[in-house]
């Protein structure tokens, strides 16, 4: 049985296989082709904290492949959690489905769940831990929109300290031949220990220095709660905001990504430029999750 | 792409076409005939405020036509709304479905959503604004139960000031050859500006004067919150209550409608008379929504 | 039209028929065989209080038979309940589905609902009342795991006073040739009136006396709230806990059941013994509910 708990469970070949498979499902995601490949299968969405976007994306992927979905809301899940251990919950729930997508506030919860489950478990985010399907859709977006991942220059912008999305993505990018620029306020830098473990071609930079040279700008949300005072927050975030000015300095072929939701990190006017690919990135979650669902269930 | 935002977007021919289409789907709604006409399609129910009846009615319409539904609860939706703009939410959600049904507390929200959506948007009520699918099912109920809409005398009873249902319905009725009686307490009269804009044959009346003459009595809920004091509320509502006495004065062929839920406006004993059609009206929501879903998605 | 409100609505032949039917559906529940026998049918899960396990089990049963499910959450249901009577809710909801599963905090609510419904109603627990589908799955587990029900010795352990599950089960067991032992703290004994109404071979016992002789130990949760003080609670529950020591004294062929969730009544180490059948019991809910759904809808 195959689980998908961490992006580190996959090697470069696994990732490439999943990205290729995703491409095959894109027509189905777009409604141009029908598939009933998961007919008779049931996916349980077990969300111990809300993440409506991720849940919807898995749900539409499953349903467009002819499968069925049972949702357990954050509210229901928290009421279950009060009454029994996670191990017991997983043992019971895995009787009622063919795979479990789990979202949990605690790091390690998805791995633990997989050890007690009769069916494959997919991690949809566990605390500060992993969110491997987000990473796969990020990679897929880059590959689809630029044509390759190897050889690209990629700027990671914003909160590099706390963002689970960034941590998973950077690990995956180091499997490819990429040049990575880290662009963040000093208080939100990638943790030193994390950086030391990584191989790959990685360096710190200012956005202004590299904006005209990079192929991908990956922006993340900077949360107000990370700052001691609101003025500091406003000052800091201002200088990492992507505006029309930023876009003008970018290469024609470069793209801007964001895991969404965004607050102020990207000006709304940017949405209408051809570099803006973050809504398309949200769409790509569907074919990528189709590929993942078929990987674990078939 | 077709949206359904306001009943005023439809002319008389559009309405008649939808009502005829609804009739074709009635067998499917009743389970006498199978259809998979929406197989492979996904409807997103995006409810920023709860409306379980409307949601269930769309959900059963979609599923009985072979389609699938993704629900976003009021709780989830309000948590999304805290984190991003409605425009962003719609841009993302419209990646995950083939149509969106939206319910929102603010007037104009549905129209705004349609401007940012990649897929058709159906308004299921936006604040004091519109609820066009309710109006279509009201018209359908009249047509099915009496055989026509033109030529009928229709009494609108209760809260004519705040009821979104009444405002949409009255606009649609003026497209037909109907005589409309407005029956309401003075504090809940149809707003003067609203009345002046309307064409058609409309006049104020007391229920007693017209009860034996009308073909349809359409009753709406009078909400306690509209009154300054509870005694006033009780005095007023008492005189607009439909009882067995009221029914005895009605024509044999006349019908009583109500958008539900009812509180005290219609006595429970009335349920067992043949004039009572409000539960059947709830059922008619299914074939009418089937017609609407196929209109916008096929 | 057939409802399932109380286990007492069924005679022994009915029960045996449903258990045999459940066996036929086990392959479908396990995913070894496909069925679309309920295609085109819609089940409404109307839960006025949360019971995620029961809801999921009905949902997977319905979906694995090709049917569709509309869920009404406890939160939605309670908001509906504030606005209208249960009779009105049932009259409306039964327009939108082919059967209703109802869970309600008040005893008698399921019977009342069945009197106002246009479609079959299945009771999934009404207050201190009944939970007949739990009883059927309990019986099915015994029959499957031991091979028969007649002739068995069965110990009911824990809260025999308040447990709805126990009350339904004991009534069903007296239809078979069983010997029943009642094992409980004095404050949680089966109510005298209840005991006097029952026929059958029933006696009180201490767990130690009968543990080596019984075929089934059915354990229920002892709730802290039943005791005036926490020390009393801890003292009492300790002596009814199933541990590895208990299992060692049991017959090789005997089984341990529990309706779940468990807190402390069964030590986690017991899970790995072959007597532990409570998670399998949870699985058996699926084929049994498949049998019940087809009984009422086809």
C255-257/A121-126 β-pairing: unpaired
Cβ–Cβ below 8 Å for C63 and A73: no
CB C127 within 8 A of CB C168: no
CB A47 within 8 A of CB A77: yes
Cα–Cα dist A217/A195, whole Å: 19
Contacts of A262 in chain B (CB under 8 A): 84, 88
Query: Which residue's entry shows tokens 């993302």?
Result: B92
Q: Which two tokens stand for residue C91?
A: 């009259």
> B124-183 pLDDT, tens per residue?
999 888 999 999 999 999 999 999 999 999 999 999 998 989 999 999 999 999 999 999
What is the structure's pLDDT at B140? Answer: 98
Number of separate domains in chain C: 2
Average the pLDDT over C225-250 and give the result: 88
Contacts of B262 in chain C (CB under 8 A): 84, 88
> C190-209 pLDDT, tens per residue?
999 889 988 889 999 999 99
In this predicted structure, the answer to whether residue B206 has a pLDDT above a threshold of 70 is: yes
- Same domain for A156 and A234? yes
Phi, psi (rounded to 5 degrees) for A235: -60, -45
CB B292 within 8 A of CB B57: no
- CATH number, position B70: 3.40.50.1370
Average the pLDDT over A202-220 and give the result: 97
Cα–Cα dist C61/C75, whole Å: 23
Residue range of the domain that includes B81 = 7-130+285-297
What is the structure's pLDDT at A239? Answer: 82
What is the structure's pLDDT at B1? Answer: 66
> B255-278 pLDDT, tens per residue?
999 999 998 899 999 999 999 999
A101 strand-pairing partners = A45, A122
Least confident of B97-106, B224-233, C289-298: B224-233
Residue A225: pLDDT band by 50, 70, 90 thresholds? confident
What is the structure's pLDDT at A234? Answer: 83
> C27-50 pLDDT, tens per residue?
999 999 999 999 999 999 999 999
More confident residue, B196 or A237: B196
What is the structure's pLDDT at B114? Answer: 98
* Residue among C90, C95, C119 with most chain B CBs within 10 A, to mutate: C95
Q: H-type helices in C36-131, by residue range?
A: 52-64, 74-83, 86-93, 109-116
Query: What mean pLDDT, rounded, does chain A reach?
Result: 95
Task: Point out the residue among C63, C261, C285 whose CB comes nearest to the CB of A42.
Answer: C63
Which chain C residue has the Cα nearest residue B279? C92
- Same domain for A141 and A258? yes
Percent of chain B residues topping a pLDDT of 90: 85
Cα–Cα dist A202/A181, whole Å: 6
Q: Calculate how close chain A gets to C195, using CA atoms only, in Å.
A: 30
Domain membership of residue C77 (yes or no) is yes
Domain membership of residue A2 (yes or no) is no
- Same domain for C190 and C70? no
- Same domain for C195 and C109? no
Least confident of A189-198, B29-38, B60-69, C140-149: A189-198
What is the structure's pLDDT at B227? Answer: 83
Which chain A residue has the Cα nearest residue C75? A75
Cα–Cα dist B100/C240, whole Å: 54
* Residue among A27, A30, A41, A53 with most chain B CBs within 10 A, to mutate: A53
ipTM of the complex: 0.95
CB C111 within 8 A of CB C87: no
- Same domain for A239 and A139? yes
Domain membership of residue C2 (yes or no) is no
Query: What mean pLDDT, rounded, does chain C reach?
Result: 95
Domain membership of residue B225 (yes or no) is yes
- Same domain for A258 and A164? yes
Residue A1: pLDDT band by 50, 70, 90 thresholds? low
Domain membership of residue B157 (yes or no) is yes
Q: Which stretches of chain A sit within 8 Å of chain B by CB?
A: 31, 34, 50, 52-53, 56-57, 59-60, 63-64, 71, 73, 75, 260-263, 268, 279, 282-283, 285-286
What is the structure's pLDDT at C1? Answer: 66
Question: C212-222: buried (b, 16+ CB within 10 Å) or exposed (e) per residue?
Answer: eebbbbbbbbb
Task: Point out the residue among C60, C73, C262 whose CB comes nearest to the CB of A84.
Answer: C262
- Same domain for C108 and C221? no
Domain membership of residue B2 (yes or no) is no
Query: What mean pLDDT, rounded, does chain B reach?
Result: 95
Domain membership of residue B182 (yes or no) is yes
Going by C-alpha positions, the residue among A47, A45, A48, A23 that lies closest to residue A33 is A23
What is the structure's pLDDT at C110? Answer: 97
Domain membership of residue C1 (yes or no) is no
Q: Which stretches of chain A sit within 8 Å of chain C by CB?
A: 39-42, 44, 68, 70-73, 75-77, 79-80, 83-84, 87-88, 91-93, 95-98
Percent of chain A residues topping a pLDDT of 70: 100
Q: Which two tokens stand for residue A200?
A: 């790959």
- Same domain for C155 and C266? yes
- Those residues with Cβ within 8 angstroms of residue C204's Cβ, 6 or more apart along the chain or in another chain: C181, C182, C183, C189
- Same domain for C251 and C151? yes
- Same domain for A265 and A181? yes
Average the pLDDT over A97-115 and give the result: 97
What is the structure's pLDDT at C113? Answer: 98
Cα–Cα distance list, A124 to A71, A97, A171 (Å) = 14, 17, 17
- Helical packing angle, A86-93 and A109-116, nearest 10°: 50
Cβ–Cβ below 8 Å for A279 and B92: yes
Cβ–Cβ below 8 Å for A286 and B95: yes
- Same domain for A167 and A87? no
CB B242 within 8 A of CB B219: yes
B183 strand-pairing partners = B157
Residue C82: pLDDT band by 50, 70, 90 thresholds? confident
Dihedral (CA of C194, C199, C204, C209) sign: negative
> C257-293 pLDDT, tens per residue?
999 999 889 999 999 999 999 999 999 999 999 999 9
CB B265 within 8 A of CB B242: yes
Residue C244: pLDDT band by 50, 70, 90 thresholds? very high
Average the pLDDT over C103-127 and give the result: 96
- Same domain for B25 and B123? yes
In this predicted structure, the answer to whether residue C223 has a pLDDT above a threshold of 90 is: no
What is the structure's pLDDT at B236? Answer: 81
Cβ–Cβ below 8 Å for A260 and B79: no
Task: Point out the residue among B59, B260, B268 whose CB comes nearest to the CB of C70.
Answer: B59
């Amino acid at each position: 049985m195959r689980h998908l708990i961490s992006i580190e469970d996959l090697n470069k070949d696994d990732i490439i296989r999943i990205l290729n498979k995703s491409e095959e499902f894109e027509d189905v995601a777009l409604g141009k082709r029908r598939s009933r490949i998961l007919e008779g299968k049931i996916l349980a969405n077990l969300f111990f904290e809300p993440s409506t976007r991720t849940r919807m994306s898995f749900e539409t992927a499953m349903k467009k492949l002819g499968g069925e979905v049972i949702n357990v809301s954050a509210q229901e899940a928290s009421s279950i959690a009060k009454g029994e251990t996670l191990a017991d919950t997983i043992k019971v729930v895995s009787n009622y489905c063919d795979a479990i997508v789990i979202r949990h506030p605690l790091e390690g919860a998805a791995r633990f769940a997989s050890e007690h489950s009769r069916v494959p478990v997919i991690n949809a985010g566990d605390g500060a831990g992993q969110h491997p399907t987000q990473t796969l859709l990020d990679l897929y977006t880059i590959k689809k929109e630029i044509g390759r991942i190897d050889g690209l220059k990629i700027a990671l912008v914003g909160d590099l300290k706390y963002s689970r999305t960034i941590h998973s993505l950077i690990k995956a990018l180091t499997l490819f031949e990429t040049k990575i620029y880290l662009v963040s306020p000093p208080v939100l830098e990638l943790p030193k220990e994390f950086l030391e473990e990584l191989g790959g071609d990685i360096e710190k930079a200012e956005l202004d220095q590299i904006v005209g040279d990079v192929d991908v700008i990956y922006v993340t949300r900077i949360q107000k709660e990370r700052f001691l005072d609101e003025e500091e927050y406003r000052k800091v975030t201002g200088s990492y905001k992507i505006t029309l000015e930023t876009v003008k300095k970018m290469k024609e072929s470069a793209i801007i990504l964001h895991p969404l939701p965004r607050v102020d990190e990207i000006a709304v006017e940017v949405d209408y430029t051809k570099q803006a690919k973050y809504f398309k990135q949200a769409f790509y979650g569907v074919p990528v999750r189709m590929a993942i669902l078929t990987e674990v269930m078939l």
